[in-house]
Chains A and B, each alone.
Chain A
Amino acid sequence: MKLAGNDILIQSLIKEGVEYIFGYPGGAALHIYDSIFKQNEMEHILVRHEQGATHAADGYARATGKPGVVLVTSGPGATNAITGIATAFMDSIPMIIISGQVAKHLIGTDAFQETDMIGISRPIVKHSFTVDSAENIPEIVKHAFHIATSGRPGPVVIDVPKDTTAPDKLFDFVYPEKVNIRSYNPPINPEKEQIERAVEAILDAEKPVIYAGGGAINSNASEELLLLNKILDFPVTNTLMGLGIYPATHERFLGMLGMHGTYQANMAMHNADLIIAVGARFDDRITNTPSLFAPNAKIIHLDVDHSSVSKIIEANIAVFGQVKNSLTEIIKSLETKKELIDSKKISHWKKQISEWQSQHGLNHEMYLNENDDNPIMPQAVVQHIYNITKGNAYITSDVGQHQMFAAQYYHFDEPRKWINSGGLGTMGFGLPAAMGVKLAFPNEEVVCITGEGSIQMCIQELSTCTQYDLPIKIININNEALGMVKQWQDMNYGGRHSASTYQSSLPNFVELVESYGHVGIKIEKNSDLKNGLKKAFMQKDKLVFVDVYVDPSEHVYPMLVAPNGSLKDMWLDKETKT
């Protein structure tokens, strides 16, 4: 079959099974857009800002496990996509970003809308390609998808000079069936010896904790983790990125750990004699001061990325491979040693952990307070959402206090249902991410828990939701401030609220969303909270934006004491330190 470069590109994407492409047109991408118009196997979603395209593709990727695909034009289109690419990179999300570029003969001449996209994006991509000729497009696309989705996933940029997509030059189109990149061989199966060492340490442990992160989700390892713990019955904690990989309602689940982790999770990590890290990377929100981290623990680290292991915390036993496969091998080995597993060995530890939990665990019943003498508490909003959606919704979030409350109080029993920007912490992520999730799962409840600060960073996407009829629910936890910033200012800067409030400049969100054709609900009283939220969720076919005014003085706790603190050093409320 003979095709022009633009059609070759689009047909290659179709061969990769792409259903949605999120983008925004412009000069350098117009040949490609013409090819999109001529086919109907893939739907293009026109966003309102390229950042929205990247986050929507990202949300789609996180929820489905399939790569998200973005198309932008050169220059400003490409630079607008940068924040979203960095967001995906930090959380290891598979994404393909196709950026238009000026024609090859213009590159380096400061041509109109010329930007060195490859150069600008280099530190925040897993890899990138420049198309040199239309003939090479199929191979480049094949390689890009392989790189984005294998090993430790990540974003891949394909920069496409306009002349390589010209409609008037035809080339043979054959899409490669196999892919082999000789310099790229991420580990798949673990080494036997390391598995045996890990199993030995597991059998020895008296105070073990399983610490699972986003890598376990990327590797689709939830079943294996459950199976492993059917055998071991160890306490399990998840990182912010790992929530859902182990059922939150399971008896052994400790909640999230780290900066705003639960008391019992942080105490268990600090006092453990064995930490089994599964696709987690010991980042600074988890370890607090690395030299004070878990002083008595042996570390087993399962990861697909060599460079993540012993980067911050030295691993005693490093197991390289897809963590799904590594867990399977550990399970197999343990099954041959069943007589050596002594559940009594850890019974004292389990008792200790439940004591910690009953001392300072989170209060999951704040929603019961319907007294109008008290302000609405943000935690109660999340608890109501959990109750109304029966824990089954996809929850996207933004960045700030509302994000932490969502992570702490919505119990995720399944992976890929908690969708948030953990690594980069990108405000503006939540709404476009929810669009991507809703497109992937139109029959599922998709909720964006956001703040009045974050939502305004990509609020233009409300218009995209109208165009494509995406009835998501947006719950705006409105504390009339950049709450997380304000919390730090309260705690570390003598309460000086520098640039963290808006001085009555917030829009009327209800009128704003109505002007886009959506439904807006404002809630200001405790006694209205439950019914107001219920009313929102009853409107299945509508995008409903609920603007909930909450206690502006509330802080997120626990909170690790920094600098120079360990995981056992926490603020438990405004007055109490451990």
Chain B
Amino acid sequence: MIQRKLSIILENKPGALVRVVGLFHQRGYNIESLHVDPVNNLNEYKYVEKNLNIKLNKGEVSHLIIATTVNDNLLRQILRQINKLIDVLIAEEME
């Protein structure tokens, strides 16, 4: 198993982050590192707007990066579960 980085775009509002973090705990996955910032440089996030056909405003969403060590199957499962969270716009493995 190798360490993977997950890139997650979520609504920047109270309670959104803890749902993602809580999911890791509930399902028994370990978080090895975690970094979160509000998205201010919208140019880098055009893909979010394009994928979801929406318009973002500065600071409206956060970019969360989580590192965890899992196999392929588990990674797919984690991503599906994170994507299911209502406040998550996009969750994917980082290139």
Contact = CB atoms under 8 A, between A and B. Distances in A.
Given A181-B86, A183-B88, A307-B83, 17 more contacts: A122-B19, A122-B22, A126-B86, A130-B15, A147-B86, A182-B54, A182-B89, A183-B11, A183-B86, A183-B87, A183-B89, A184-B86, A305-B84, A306-B83, A307-B80, A310-B73, A310-B76
Interface in B57-95: 73, 76-77, 80-81, 83-84, 86-89
A123 interface: yes
B18 interface: yes
Interface in B6-26: 10-11, 14-15, 18-19, 22, 26
B17 to A, nearest CB: 12
27 contacts: A122-B18, A122-B22, A123-B26, A126-B86, A127-B86, A128-B15, A130-B14, A130-B15, A147-B86, A181-B86, A182-B52, A182-B54, A183-B10, A183-B52, A183-B86, A183-B87, A183-B88, A183-B89, A185-B52, A306-B83, A307-B77, A307-B80, A307-B83, A307-B84, A310-B73, A310-B77, A311-B77
A185 B89 CA distance: 10
Given A123-B26, A182-B52, A182-B54, A306 B84 contact: yes
Contacts, number: 38
A317 interface: no
Interface of B: 10-11, 14-15, 18-19, 22, 26, 52, 54, 73, 76-77, 80-81, 83-84, 86-89
A118 interface: yes
A111 to B, nearest CB: 19
Nearest to A309: B80
Nearest to B23: A123
Interface in A105-143: 118, 122-123, 126-128, 130
Interface SS of chain B:
helix
Nearest to A124: B26
Nearest to A311: B77
B2 to A, nearest CB: 21
Contacts of B89: 182-183
B72 to A, nearest CB: 11
Contacts of A310: 73, 76-77
A357 B77 CA distance: 37
Contacts of A181: 86
Nearest to A312: B77
A147 B87 CA distance: 12
A311 B76 CA distance: 9
Contacts of A306: 80, 83-84
A541 B89 CA distance: 53
Contacts of B54: 182
A305 B80 CA distance: 9
B86 A307 contact: no
A127 B77 CA distance: 19
A305 B22 CA distance: 20
Contacts of A122: 18-19, 22
A147 B85 CA distance: 11
Contacts of A147: 86
A252 to B, nearest CB: 33
B19 A307 contact: no
Nearest to A305: B84
A123 B22 CA distance: 8
Interface string A398-412: 000000000000000
A305 B81 CA distance: 9
Nearest to B82: A307
B16 to A, nearest CB: 9
Contacts of A127: 86
Nearest to B25: A123
Interface string A283-305: 00000000000000000000001
Interface in A68-127: 118, 122-123, 126-127
